[in-house]
Structure 1
Amino acid sequence: MKNRLILLAVATTIAFTGCDRNLDIVNPNQVTTQSFWKTADDALAGVNAVYSTTHRGGISRWMPFYYIIRSDEGQSLSPATDIVNNMDQFLITDYNYGNAYGVWNDNYIGINRANQVIANVPAIPMDETLKQRYVGEAKFLRAMFYFHLATLWGNVPLILEPSVVGDQPASATQAQVWAQIEKDLTEAATGLPTTYGPNDLGRATKGAAFALLARTYLQQRKYAEAITPLQWLTEGEGKGIYSLMPNYRDNFLVTTENNRESVFEWQFELNPAEYTDDDTETPNQNYGTSIAQFFGPSGIGWSDGEARRWVVREFNERTTTGARDPRLEASFLFDSTDVRGPAFTQIYGQTFLQRYGTNNQRVWFRKFQNDHWKNEEGYRSPNNWRYIRYADVLLMYAEALNATGKTAQAYSFVDQVRQRAGLPRLSTVRPGLTAEQFLGQLKHERVTELSGEGWRWNDLARWGDLGPQLANRDPAFSTFVRGRSELLPIPQTDRDLNPGLTQNPGY
């Protein structure tokens, strides 16, 4: 059984910031800020509650939807037209759309929990090294939540203190949010260890802070600044900690979680739970994620999100032995997941031919499904979400080197990723590329290595590739409007409550 550092019950223990101060009667059994934050155990419970936010449905289910389905690699054929219109087609008419609000709300819940740790733990009399670690973990997680908000909504409230009733924080600019993320991650890296023992696997490390910091720099096209944290990960101390797993598929199995390629992943657990995926106060909390149920193939899951066929065609290179790229089979369920075709491709205990016939061209993301150990899906998947892998770090480093005039040096880091897949070295098949040509190649490499892992939208945004021109491979982009569709609308409910919030352009 996995060790779980995320104890959902403690989330309810510190949910005291929502109390109305105008009430005259105080519940003597209710935990308050005056009775909490006294001991090292309180500090641990507090930081664990921040991690537990990733179990909430807005983060564990709907946020991957937005990053994957909105990009050109994903689509929704769901009978639920609200998912199709609001999450795939850029036809957003409801500024209070529930799934979007869930993402917004749950990230801010995580931020508020992190703020409580950052504000209260420093005053607790306890081991100083452990104290700095807990604060570092909270700053890493706060930065992660703000990274989501910055890339989905852009100009959002920047809240750095525990919330109180009546707060009306104004919108910050996206640049201000990025600056705070950089600050949090830089400070977090100083207090976080490089590794943990087996009882604390899954906690944020110095390498995780550096990787998210590098991604933050890259997203702003600060390539020179990204070099230093990426260098630590790939050529410095991190090189002795992280490496590629020999078998690509091992990055997505429940039996090989938290492996040496994992820089940071969200921890999930199969447990007896209600028909929900939230960490509210209920008798049986759900420690799992329902993403597998909602991405599951037709007849297995709800099939509300799936891949586009063009992504399959990106895997067009042969290995050095003449075989098909093994990442294709690990990444997708479709008529030829087994290279021999529909009659041999297994879809949860039946062949593709048996389930869908011979002419079905649909493609489902496989990476975070559970077909490797059971024949159904549900709302309590224990399969961890691999948030940042070392392969991604290598490709980010190659991109930063290429953008700073070091294209020749960048080749070796792409070669590591390609060779793990059995492909020939890029330095052999395409030597001497210009910076522009090398970036074009990197765009292909990131699709084949990272498809379905939630980074495609941010990649397209960083490269300036979002726009109606993508409609040739994703018809949903025919409704994309430049200057508006890059960001989601700020929820109108929050704007009604807080006049200080500014709506995003075009809405």
Structure 2
Amino acid sequence: MKKIFLSIVTLAFGFSFISCDLDEPSYGKTTSNNFYKKQSDIAEALTGAYLQLRTTWNEYALNFYFVGDCSTDDALKGSSDGDRAEVMELQNFMVYTTNGEVGRRWEILYRLINRCNDVIAHAMDAQGDKDILTRYMNEAKALRAFGYYSLVTTFGGVPLITSPMQPEEILRVPRASADDVYKQIVSDLNDAAALPAKDKYSTEEQYHLTRGFAKTMLAKTYMFRGDFQNAEKVLRDIVETDHDYALLPDYGMNWRKEYENSSESVFELPNKVYDKSIATGTNVPHFFTSRDVPGYQGYGFHVPTTDLFNAFDKDDPRQTYVFTRTGDRYVGDKQAQDNHQSATGFHDYKMTVPSVDKAGFDVWMISYNIRLIRYADVLLLYAEALNENGKAPEALKYLNQVRQRARNTNPMDPRKDQQAYVPVVTARTLPDITVTNKDELREIIWHERRVELAMEGWRRDDLMRQRRFGEVMKAYAAKYNVQKGRNFNDKRDYLLPIPQGEIDKSNNVLTQNPEY
């Protein structure tokens, strides 16, 4: 495992694969004429692709949370209005075509896609073990599919680039239809489903993408398209055939360092720091913690809303691991959490790393893995697909697995020696659901997804695919008499604008989304 982190760092500082925008090539001094010849070259190129999701100061996870939560009823941007103002635009649906956060998403994901294209194009011509080279190619396809999924679900149709291209060629590529982008995603993920299972990788490669990741993203793609029949087939394969994953016995374990890359983790970004002089950590948690507590002193972004808090049953122990409150104190801290600058009184627990786990580290390289997809997400998608396909009794089995784990969770966080609120768990806490009416059960499953996956970046994705984004946000604005959601335009705000800089560089080959 240590080897993979050090190789990533080596690439970050020494490898000349630099690209920032759609029109930049994914190589500099290194070209296909003097590289990609050996298996080790392809391995380094693949590591370079993985690296695009976790580049210091430009981490995809930060954008993932800002776009995925702060534009929804789950989270506020937080901090002062002028601090990271581009996220405030997302929150209030007043997004300009020059919005920096929108541009950052486009930039990171196309850098990822460009790197993946290099691996896919050259892997099978390199000298080495063909089975390993095929795996590298399929890992790149899985990563490319993730990149295109993240683009098409927020921008609609985008330029579909599937092979290495020169800048002047890229600038002539128009937007493909959303249908064509989804077809490419499905093709890539079907190929990547041949990847090894999670437990088949060596310790050094334990964070490489797996068949479970490929199938989960394929299921998410089908769900987003409303294709519940195909989604059910893929999800059944994950849950009932492969058995690659299992829920941890306690919900709170998911965010403790001793359970990194656990049985529940489907996709996790590794940020372990082995050598404190090398920046292999993440700076994302620092953006989300309180400004006022020694050892934390973050930016106070990604604040849970009161509406999200009210969505939880008062005795649901999961809220202990979603909301950090004033008065909570982590073991080893001398001062309790102070959230007086938070608009709701809460901060994001799941991205709060106790100061004892950061001792000796720079705040910009925190040793903390970011969990992007958990098996609980898979189980709830499966329950939803089954219900939509008229199989409510079967859906209840998987819905109630998630609820059972939740009610068995310790309401007192073992990482704290002082907790402002401890839910009172009784025999009546989170009882099994028995409703089999399709419409009623759909609402219950949607609610369960909200509380189980709270603050994990998937809320916008859910509201989009459920075709109720505008409805929910306008209701939020009316309920709380706030700006957030009031400006939602159903003809505009289901998509983000294409970055104006990309349109300009293409000489208007790229076209803008409606109403921007």
User: Are the aligned partners of 1:411 and 1:426 in contact in 2 as well (CA < 8 Å)?
Assistant: no
One of 383, 387, 408 as aligned partner of 1:402? 387
Residues 1:44 and 2:43 aligned together? yes
**Per-residue displacement from partner, 1:94-135 (whole Å, max 9, x unpaired)?**
x22222211110110000000000001110121111011000
Partner residue, 1:25: none
CA spacing shift, 1:356–1:459, aligned 2, 3 Å: closer
CA spacing shift, 1:39–1:435, aligned 2, 3 Å: same
CA spacing shift, 1:128–1:329, aligned 2, 3 Å: same
Matches within 5 A, 1:239-388: 239=243, 241-270=244-273, 286-299=279-292, 300-316=297-313, 324-335=315-326, 342=327, 346=330, 349=333, 352=336, 355=338, 361-371=344-354, 373-374=356-357, 378-388=363-373
User: Are the aligned partners of 1:78 and 1:84 in contact in 2 as well (CA < 8 Å)?
Assistant: no
User: Are the aligned partners of 2:87 and 2:101 in contact in 1 as well (CA < 8 Å)?
Assistant: no
SS class of match (2:371): strand
Partner residue, 1:464: 467
**Amino acid across the alignment from 1:170:** P
One of 229, 236, 240 as aligned partner of 1:235? 240
Gaps of 5+ in 1: 19-28, 274-283, 318-323, 336-341
Partner residue, 2:420: none
Q: 2:477 and 2:225 mapped to 1: Cα distance?
A: 25
RMSD: 2.7
**Per-residue displacement from partner, 1:196-255 (whole Å, max 9, x unpaired)?**
121111110111100111011111111111112211111112x2x210111212211222
CA spacing shift, 1:396–1:348, aligned 2, 3 Å: farther
Give, in angstroms, the shift of residue 381 of structure 1. Answer: 2.2
Give, in angstroms, the shift of residue 432 of structure 1. Answer: 3.4
Gaps of 5+ in 2: 21-27, 409-426
User: Are the aligned partners of 2:321 and 2:349 in contact in 1 as well (CA < 8 Å)?
Assistant: yes
Alignment length (residue pairs):
470
**Amino acid across the alignment from 1:134:** Y
**Amino acid across the alignment from 1:205:** T
Q: 1:270 and 1:362 mapped to 2: Cα distance?
A: 31
SS class of match (2:351): coil
**Per-residue displacement from partner, 1:18-46 (whole Å, max 9, x unpaired)?**
9xxxxxxxxxx943321101111101101
Give, in angstroms, the shift of residue 60 of structure 1. Answer: 3.0
Residues 1:490 and 2:489 aligned together? no
Partner residue, 1:477: 485
Give, in angstroms, the shift of residue 302 of structure 1. Answer: 0.4
Q: 1:33 and 1:285 mapped to 2: Cα distance?
A: 30
Matches within 5 A, 1:366-445: 366-371=349-354, 373-374=356-357, 378-422=363-407, 429-445=432-448
Give, in angstroms, the shift of residue 187 of structure 1. Answer: 0.7
Residues 1:62 and 2:86 aligned together? no
CA spacing shift, 1:292–1:220, aligned 2, 3 Å: same
Q: 2:194 and 2:37 mapped to 1: Cα distance?
A: 24
With normalisation by structure 2, the TM-score equals: 0.85
Partner residue, 2:23: none
**Amino acid across the alignment from 1:215:** K
Q: 1:443 and 1:201 mapped to 2: Cα distance?
A: 32
**Per-residue displacement from partner, 1:430-450 (whole Å, max 9, x unpaired)?**
423311111110121112210
SS class of match (1:268): coil
SS class of match (1:433): coil
After TM superposition, the structure 1 stretch with the greater mean CA deviation from structure 2, 393-402 or 325-334, is 325-334
Q: 2:43 and 2:385 mapped to 1: Cα distance?
A: 37
Partner residue, 1:186: 190
SS class of match (2:223): helix
User: Are the aligned partners of 1:412 and 1:427 in contact in 2 as well (CA < 8 Å)?
Assistant: no
Partner residue, 1:212: 217
**Per-residue displacement from partner, 1:267-291 (whole Å, max 9, x unpaired)?**
1133678xxxxxxxxxx76322221
Q: 2:453 and 2:222 mapped to 1: Cα distance?
A: 19
Partner residue, 2:158: 156
User: Are the aligned partners of 2:303 and 2:344 in contact in 1 as well (CA < 8 Å)?
Assistant: no
Residues 1:128 and 2:130 aligned together? yes
**Per-residue displacement from partner, 1:130-171 (whole Å, max 9, x unpaired)?**
011000100000011111111221121111011312022110
Give, in angstroms, the shift of residue 356 of structure 1. Answer: 5.0
**Per-residue displacement from partner, 1:41-60 (whole Å, max 9, x unpaired)?**
10110111111111131513
Q: 1:358 and 1:100 mapped to 2: Cα distance?
A: 27
User: Are the aligned partners of 1:261 and 1:391 in contact in 2 as well (CA < 8 Å)?
Assistant: yes
One of 145, 148, 164 as aligned partner of 1:146? 148
User: Are the aligned partners of 1:72 and 1:473 in contact in 2 as well (CA < 8 Å)?
Assistant: no
CA spacing shift, 1:86–1:350, aligned 2, 3 Å: farther
Q: 2:35 and 2:342 mapped to 1: Cα distance?
A: 61
**Amino acid across the alignment from 2:498:** I
User: Are the aligned partners of 1:268 and 1:289 in contact in 2 as well (CA < 8 Å)?
Assistant: yes
Q: 1:196 and 1:96 mapped to 2: Cα distance?
A: 42
CA spacing shift, 1:249–1:448, aligned 2, 3 Å: same
Q: 1:347 and 1:88 mapped to 2: Cα distance?
A: 34
Q: 2:36 and 2:213 mapped to 1: Cα distance?
A: 27
Q: 1:451 and 1:357 mapped to 2: Cα distance?
A: 22
After TM superposition, the structure 1 stretch with the greater mean CA deviation from structure 2, 387-396 or 473-482, is 473-482
Residues 1:501 and 2:510 aligned together? yes
Q: 1:113 and 1:469 mapped to 2: Cα distance?
A: 42
SS class of match (1:7): helix
**Per-residue displacement from partner, 1:310-346 (whole Å, max 9, x unpaired)?**
21222216xxxxxx322111111024xxxxxx4x655
**Per-residue displacement from partner, 1:408-436 (whole Å, max 9, x unpaired)?**
10000011111111267999654233111
**Amino acid across the alignment from 1:200:** E
Partner residue, 1:117: 119
With normalisation by structure 1, the TM-score equals: 0.86
Partner residue, 2:413: none
Give, in angstroms, the shift of residue 298 of structure 1. Answer: 2.9
Matches within 5 A, 1:6-17: 7-10=8-11, 13-15=15-17
Partner residue, 1:89: 92
